[in-house]
């Protein structure tokens, strides 16, 4: 009788391959695990850029219409308004030429689905400040900030509070 030669992997070869795959998994996994956090932080940076761009355009229109000096410290009296082309009756309300920090005004200028209530099914949410000229937190649905006000994964937008100040845009992404 003639013996047939068997082909296949030996136990040692299989163990070596498993060890190599384990080493690759241990070194590569941390790079991929952090992708979601990086994506959230990048999304916040994108929204910050959109907000800065919209505010630049609004201020330019306010300056042309001589509305850039109108406003108040609390953003409630003597405000200006400019037509930003979003339809009749949808003028942007400005405080010293820049957008005030309410959901309605930011939603209008940025053309995004935004609400001040997490019970609405929107993409972006805002925790408005105590008045339209105070700092507001803008955050995305599904981010760690959503449902947990203690998490830092948002943009803090502070409108101008005088004719000589500019708005502030701060991205807080520690917990993203």
Proportion of the chain above pLDDT 70, given as a percent: 96
What's the pLDDT at 114? 92
| Residues with Cβ within 8 Å of residue 5, at least 6 apart in sequence | none
- CA atoms of 18 and 11, how far apart (whole Å): 11
Identify whether 79 is part of a domain. Answer: yes
Number of domains in the chain: 1
Has residue 27 got a pLDDT over 90? no
Instruction: Write out the residue range of the structural domain in which residue 153 sits.
Output: 52-172
Sheet with 168-172, edge to edge strand ranges: 114-115, 124-127, 136-140, 154-158, 168-172
CB count in 10 Å sphere of residue 96: 28
Average pLDDT over residues 142-167: 94
Q: What's the gap between Cα 145 and its chain centre?
A: 11
Domain membership of residue 9 (yes or no) is: no
Identify which of 58, 77, 76 has the alpha carbon closest to the alpha carbon of residue 68.
Answer: 58
pLDDT tens digits, residue range 119-154? 888 999 999 999 999 999 999 999 999 999 999 999
Does residue 17 sit within a domain? no
Mean pLDDT of 102-128: 91
| Mean pLDDT value across residues 10-37 | 85
Give the residue-averaged pLDDT of 29-35: 75
The pLDDT assigned to 30 comes to: 74
Percent of the chain with pLDDT strictly greater than 90: 69
Angle, CA 127 vertex, CA 56 and CA 175 arms, to 5°? 95
Task: Report yes or no on 31 lying in a domain.
Answer: no
155 and 44 Cβ atoms separated by less than 8 Å: yes
Task: Tell me if 20 is assigned to some domain.
Answer: no
Is 115 a domain residue?
yes
**Over residues 102-129, mean pLDDT:** 91
Distance, in Å, from the CA atom of 150 to the CA atom of 141, rounded to the nearest integer, reads: 15
- For 153, other C-beta atoms within 10 Å of its C-beta total 23
Mean pLDDT of the chain: 90
Tell me the mean pLDDT in the region 69-80: 92
State residue 89's pLDDT score. Answer: 73
Residue with more model confidence, 27 or 19: 19
Q: Say what the pLDDT of residue 1 is.
A: 60
Domain for residue 35, yes or no? no
pTM assigned to the model: 0.80
């Amino acid at each position: 009788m003639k013996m047939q030669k068997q082909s296949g992997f030996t136990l040692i070869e299989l163990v070596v391959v498993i060890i190599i795959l384990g080493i690759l998994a241990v070194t590569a996994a941390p790079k991929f695990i952090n992708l979601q956090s990086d994506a959230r932080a990048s999304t916040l940076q994108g929204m910050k850029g959109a907000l800065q761009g919209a505010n630049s355009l609004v201020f330019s229109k306010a300056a042309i219409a001589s509305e850039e000096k109108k406003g108040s410290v609390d953003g409630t009296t003597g405000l200006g308004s400019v037509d930003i082309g979003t339809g009749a009756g949808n003028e942007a309300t400005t405080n010293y030429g820049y957008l005030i920090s309410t959901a309605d005004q930011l939603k209008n200028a940025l053309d995004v689905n935004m609400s001040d209530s997490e019970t609405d099914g929107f993409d972006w949410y805002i925790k408005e400040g105590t008045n339209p000229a105070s700092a507001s937190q803008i955050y995305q649905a599904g981010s760690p900030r959503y449902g947990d006000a203690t998490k830092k994964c948002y943009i803090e937008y502070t409108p101008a509070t005088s004719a000589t100040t500019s708005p502030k845009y701060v991205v807080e992404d520690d917990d993203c």
